[in-house]
Amino acid sequence: MIGKKIRLERIINRDTGCTVIVPMDHGVTVGPIHGLIDMGKAVDQVAEGGANAVIGHLGLPLHGHRGYGKDVGLILHLSGSTSMNADPNQKVLISTVERSIKMGADAVSIHVNLGAETEAYMLKDLGEVSLACMEWGMPLLAMMYCRGKKIKNEYDVKVVKHAARVASELGCDIVKLNYTGSADTFREVVEGCSIPVVIAGGERMETDQEVLQMVRGMKDAGGCGVSIGRNVFQAKDPTAMVAAISAIVHGNLSVKEAMEIIKDKGSSSAKVKAVRKTAKKKQ
């Protein structure tokens, strides 16, 4: 599986074993939202901040490939649905592993909603995509959520750790999950899963500090990183926000130290250099 190992190093920092991913697949689900109007600009901002990878549909490389700036890993998303669907929780395959290889992807991702009425179909798709990824040496990130009539709280550690285990059992390489609210509860999720665990960012939070506190909790629980979208590309300074998150994920900085990166009135490039320097000292 050397192909997977090589590609995983393009989306996971080989020195820290952690990753900062920025999903930008929202255009299919909800349309051209703030922060993703100009995809090339959005990618450039997060890449400059130190993001390891971005996630998007085929349109991201087709219309957002920059041809300049700092390199960043590409994860192509294979499933989707729109908010106009009678059942938005029903995700269907809209691309393939083979097509993603031709598009230059470093990994692929798929979304599964456990508890949805169409869970069986999504699990079938996940299994087929996982086998294709094994065949082609392509890393697979599974976005596993618990949403449906039987799910009372999608952030409950009981259902989140079950979702994590499903991804692990079905051959995925990374799993993206909801954060359960505390380091203690999320540690249960990490301990019950044999693959790297990253947290989703969810809805836009009121303050940057709330985002960083969540990231710090993930880190304290033994998680491997984040996959945060709206709380990054809709931030006042996306580059600084990514730099602050990276400072916690890769440099093990405190929330207070990371907040200084965002509060700094200097340029984004200066902030990035500062966090990299601080992170090296902490390691």
CA distances from 98 to 24, 95, 138 (A): 21, 9, 9
End-to-end Cα separation, the chain, in angstroms: 30
Catalytic-labelled residue, pool 25, 125, 173, 237: 25
Give me the DSSP letters along 154-216. TT-HHHHHHHHHHHHHTT-SEEEE---SSHHHHHHHHHT-SS-EEEE--SPPS-HHHHHHHHH
Catalytic-labelled residue, pool 44, 106, 145, 208: 145
Distance CA 274, CA 30 (A): 36
Distance CA 126, CA 79 (A): 10
Is residue 132 within 8 Å of residue 165, measured between CB atoms?
Answer: no
145 labelled catalytic: yes
Instruction: Please count the helices (runs of H) and the strands (runs of E) in the chain.
Output: 13, 10
176 labelled catalytic: yes
- How many CB atoms lie under 10 A from the CB of residue 134? 16
Catalytic-labelled residue, pool 161, 176, 219, 271: 176
Catalytic residues: 25, 145, 176
